A and B are shown apart, each in its own frame.
Chain A
């Protein structure tokens, strides 16, 4: 196997002078052409991890430890010029709310042309031709006319397509997607996910995408990483993680999905309690206060990743007991 495109080792990100540990020791490898989904609830550190890969967190107020390399470059050691070339050129990002992430006073064409010309010395006409090709690529109808539209003149799904086109403008190798479908209608969500999958296949992109929707993760990801309180608590192939979840938190997430076939009168299972205060983490397993399987040993020390299958690890000392409470296939399908 060739060297991974992205390699993160022991990433720790802290805000507010180290008081808030948003990311607390994340290891992540991403092969070329692989799609990985980071899932977890708000504040679990998934977006911060993603932003760290582009060094977008405010430099003065953030402390970063660990090592990150993308395409053979050390992300944390880059100088200003190299960083500018890297952002957009090697790794680029699509955001949750395209209406906010696109500048309202410029047409979409102008924004894409500007991004291309920032990275490569091409003429305005050529940059525009490339923008047009990108719009066709992300299947925006009547692309020629849409290039001259302002963001507010388009529908949400169309804007997200345009945002993807903008992110792909400089032919990056790595696409970081921060909840790309959360702000969209359910019907549009699946179209965008399929588009991402298709682009990934055609362009050989690697994608890390952050979501709190397990359904979306299963749809596009090869591998799923579940984050809780700044740590990856379980990782494995999408298939393994759904069929045989081994961390109580993953199990809780799967059970708490509101499913279409939820029969009337049956209760939607929720995870009790709320996520821990990142400024005041418990010493042992961070999920222990909410865990149905908690024993005394859980509160003693941080559980190490325990292998439970090929490429499947869970940070839980009670993986075997957890297997018993995992939802059955019937429960998952809602039959």
Chain B
């Protein structure tokens, strides 16, 4: 026991020395990394980065005729502001929908298109990580490899599957949805987004879920928990950061998506990006409305990002460091 004590003391001394050295090298590194020049450079980069967005923001409050003739910076000399762009953008739209109604469509698309793939991917990731079955490794590599299929390649086949169904040698396998004329149906867009999100979602969540200590899962098994209980009571609560950060990714990706929705959604279910795109008109003569539309569209991703950001950095690294 005495020997152990001495060891401990020795260890303490060693650790004190180590700690001192660490502090010194940390201070060293900090000194090298943080100089007044570096801080100034960081601030300068931040300002330069923000200028275009700021310009867009100013433009969104300028009367259209002013924007067409002078740059936004002249506003500091000749101020002239209006909220008219926002009113016009919300009510005109430039296609069958107004920006306001397509804003609701975007929410109706983005929320299920975030929840559905995450629900399925978490289940799949759990299965890949903790349920041993034949060909698991091969199947996982296959799912992972699906990420390299470009979305554009899948558009026509998937759309054809939705609208015409699938039959092999005259035998009907899948009848297809006859959704072409159904107003306000989002099913095809949800399914398409869910499909396109799946490979990356499964990959990221699998890497996180497989890092849960084996002891935890085993202890649960010993206590008589089945897969359902392990999944719901251990895996899901533990992987909340990873799920939340992927949810941010997926939500913002779906919110900003134009292509998938344009191809799959019926005309009455088109999202915000589509109306935003059309706002300027055929000849681009009302482009100043797009600046207002852009800021209306930015609001939701900002809310999502700031309300979930505490998960973001943590979750971003999740699964990234698996050896």
A and B are partners in one complex rather than unrelated chains: no
Residues of B that sit less than 8 Å from A by CB: none
Residues of A that sit less than 8 Å from B by CB: none
